[in-house]
Structure 1
Amino acid sequence: MLSLYEKIKIRLIILFLLAALSFIGLFFIINYQLVSERAVKRADSRFELIQKNVGYFFKDIERSALTLKDSLYLLKNTEEIQRAVILKMEMMPFLDSVGLVLDDNKYYLFSRRANDKIVVYHQEQVNGPLVDESGRVIFADFNPSKRPWSVASDDSNNSWNPAYNCFDRPGKKCISFTLRINGKDHDLLAVDKIHVDLNWRYLNEYLDQISANDEVLFLKQGHEIIAKNQLAREKLIIYNSEGNYNIIDSVDTEYIAKTSAVPNNALFEIYFYYPGGNLLNALDKLFYLPFAFIIIVLLVVYLMTTRVFRRQFSEMTELVNTLALLPDSTDQIEALKIREGDAKEIISIKNSIAEMKDAEIERSNKLLSLISYDQESGFIKNMAIIESNNNQYLAVGIIKLCGLEAVEAVFGVDERNKIVRKLCQRIA
């Protein structure tokens, strides 16, 4: 059987657990919404930064073509042109190849190889075969004007070109920026067109640099994915019917998809996938500070409450123990004495018990004044006094009589039974 303190303590624990569980559930619902909203905001912020960085990269390629053009001013000798281009390419690792259409319509191609060596191919006659430095034919009947980079995608002098198959790199795609020489520059340069091709490996590494480890980033031109960051290279990317891509991995990560064209270059598209909000994400751990604070506050309130109740119920327990021993106590007045620190309720209980004891003593004294026992006449001596009172008082008096055992001891069982029968008749 549980004490009153134990019962209240159990109820407090249940109440605390219900409050904590309700708060945790509400916290996670609100927190999940906040984490999701934060993830969307962070995705927007990250995508805006990536857009700018990718735009800067393509701008750098365009500036590199202009720098290359500037290095060729007033150069008429093909050997000088070759040395100038090779020197610039060594300073521009993001370029895979550079092509020049000279003013005599002959074509020169400068190609970077795996060992970072730059080899030169050229035409000895217009639209003739493309040969290397040793004179070995690399591509027969090469017509520069029919190459994809030669055809402008718009009416501007400078333009990016759709990805196309590289003739000197089987299985690879080339992405070119073409710079056409017009106006007064045509009189100062021995070049009619310049095209520069991106270095795919460098572009992939650049995407790695501007993206985080948990972000998927790739570039697309038409239906061709032209560059990927490290995570995109590790994932399975599947085109869906909604004009977007599904990112497949072993843990079914949810991503927030962002797509746009490269700034100032509508030919290429950026696909960015930011991981959705995660309650366990390190970036979202700030949300757990108020949660932990509230739990600590609830725990402190619970401990303080139980401490207060423990002190109060210790006083109650002491009172109960005192009352339990009260009938056998030699000093009942001392047991019911009000002590310093007793609670108001305990003082009230002690006063009530003291009043009851006083009333009981008074009733007992009245009964004892009516009923007595002596050796000569025994109990019957004062029966007339009992008969003169009403039945209620008589019943109470009989209950309080403790002399029946004494009657039996002195006069025997028969006399005791006679008295009991007489009393029963009177009561009836």
Structure 2
Amino acid sequence: MRRRLILGVLALLVVAVAVIVAIPLLTGAGPIPPATVDPARLDAGQRARLVERGRYIARAADCAACHVAEDGRAYAGGLPMETPVGTIYGTNITPSRDHGIGGWTSDDLYRALVYGILPDGGRLYPAMPYTSYHAMTRADVDALAAYLASLPAVEKPNRPPHLAFPFNIRPAIAFWNLIFRPEPGDLPPPAGSAAPAGDHARGRYLVEVLGHCGECHTPRNLAYAMEDDRHLQGEVIEGALAPDITPTGLSARGWTAEDLTGFLSTGLSPQGTMTFRMYPVLHHSTRYLTAEDVGAIAAYLTDGAPPPTRPEPVTTGNTRNAGHDIYLGFCAGCHGADGEGHPAASPPLATNTTAMLQDPRNLVKVIRDGIPARPLAGTGRMQEMPAFGDLLDDGEMAALVNYLRHRWGGQPGDVTAERVSEVGPR
């Protein structure tokens, strides 16, 4: 009897210890460093400088890209985001007390950004990139809080997400966090070979934390968690491929630090123009970054890369086929008979990386759906590329894609009509 009593007490102690250990983990409780500034104690000039710094942090963190409203109002929320587990809508983060974050403190914002925990204890879905923001500095969060508080409140209700089971159960996110959420301050291994210091450390912070590049460019597992061992090696998002942006992957497609700097600043490069989900990144974020920060990003992403290589174009004598004839009929007017392109309209196909990707989906989507005319940074403008989905059937599309891949991309011409039909809807 006594032995059973002792065993029972020991069992209760084990359970109690397990509960004590688990509660902080499951509640998301974690250290919150003290605020670096008290806006109430700042004079008007100091407050204005803090707000301006927060505006820059918001742009570097690309907040508007997800929290923009359907009518273009920044931070009012409503933008639908398609994920493998369902549709999530960007939320209202204006100072509205009923629909936004008007009642939040800077501690509340820090907890949401770093731990994915709302002031009421609710969980944010990991589509909100707290798995990257978890390493934000408290000073950056405080500046961001001051900026968001300075915005006009927009009384716009949030839309509930439409997610598959079990992701539609918010409390279950606590268990997801227990397994997959990084600890504050943890960062993936450096993209290149150098130890993080100086400009390299700044580039790493901008890429891995504020810019949260890995959220789109890192493959995810079945639980929607990023696969750390394939960091930045490319992932399909909303039907398009966010390509490999490791130093090796970029070099294989001919990218240099100079090319990346121009691309992030203007949306233009010898490798192409910003399309798909990268266009909002330019529009809301990278075009506003300082030259020093853009340079730090480019240097970090290309650090330790081998010399850039580009496929040698195949001579036309070896490529005359149905795809060649389709190209001359539909594409040569803008891209040139030999793919030479035209300034401010289309980059040369010999350097355009879309045809160099092993996965053909981006090439198919661009030809099928076209690209709308849109403003780029400064006075630049993306010329419209018409859609050919209604003019070419899947077989003709495959022939054209194979011609482009083989002649300029260094890829095999093995795309079938069936593969074309599998590419997601426009």
TM over 0.5: no
Q: Which structure shows the higher helix fraction? A: 1
Largest Rg, 1 or 2: 1
Q: Which structure is higher in strand share?
A: 1
What TM-score results when the alignment is normalised by the length of structure 1? Answer: 0.23
